Amino acid sequence: MRNGPIPGAHGRVRPLTLLGDPVLQAPCKEVTDFGPELATLVEDLFATMYAAQGVGLAANQVGESLRVFVYDCPDDEDVRHLGHVVNPRLVETDGVVIRGPEGCLSLPGLEAGTERYDHAVVEGFTMTGEPITVHGTGFFARCLQHECDHLEGRVYADRVRGRRHRRLMRQVARASWRRPTWPTQGRGELRDQPPPAG
């Protein structure tokens, strides 16, 4: 029997920001107000993540440039990790570097082999301001690194190199959610306006 409310049960599903939206390309701002608006954002992030069938979601993926992410993600032993982190800092990454398939709700339907450490530690706060430390291994460590990247204005495509990067960018160019007129620039990102939400 579950104890406590289901995360996201009272949240609103928000439109996802897609690759090319400027909010995904800039570092997010620190949260300074731990009030009801933050609690609403966390609920909305959970609701949106579940609706999109993701395992993690950062605030800038729903257009909010704030340092917050949520997760509901298994590790390699199939242990479920559920929570959120406000003002996270990736304080430790170590262990083996593994290239594994990685996708993103802001690049829907695509994935590419991306190198990540298999152990990560994130420190931050809950939405009520309590300090927390989150340890991740395997797939969950990948999730933590992925979400921290988002809050620094990076997507996993920025970590893909060479032939794999070129192949991913060709897939982005053909993706149904991308406008054909978007130019590809810089770090392999698209810098024009995203398609209309919905």
Which of the residues are catalytic? 147
Q: Are 192 and 183 in contact (CB under 8 A)?
A: yes
Token pair 């430390």: residue: 133
**Strand-by-strand arrangement of the 80-103 sheet:** 56-58, 68-74, 80-103, 111-125, 131-137
Query: Which helix (H) or strand (E) covers residue 167, if one does?
Result: helix 162-174
What is d(CA 165, CA 158) in angstroms, rounded to the nearest whole number? 8
Type of residue found at 105? L
Q: Are 28 and 65 in contact (CB under 8 A)?
A: yes
Query: Which helix (H) or strand (E) covers residue 135, if one does?
Result: strand 131-137
Q: Are 84 and 42 in contact (CB under 8 A)?
A: yes
**Residue 139 per-residue DSSP state:** H
- Candidates 72, 67, 58, 66; CA nearest to 17 is 58
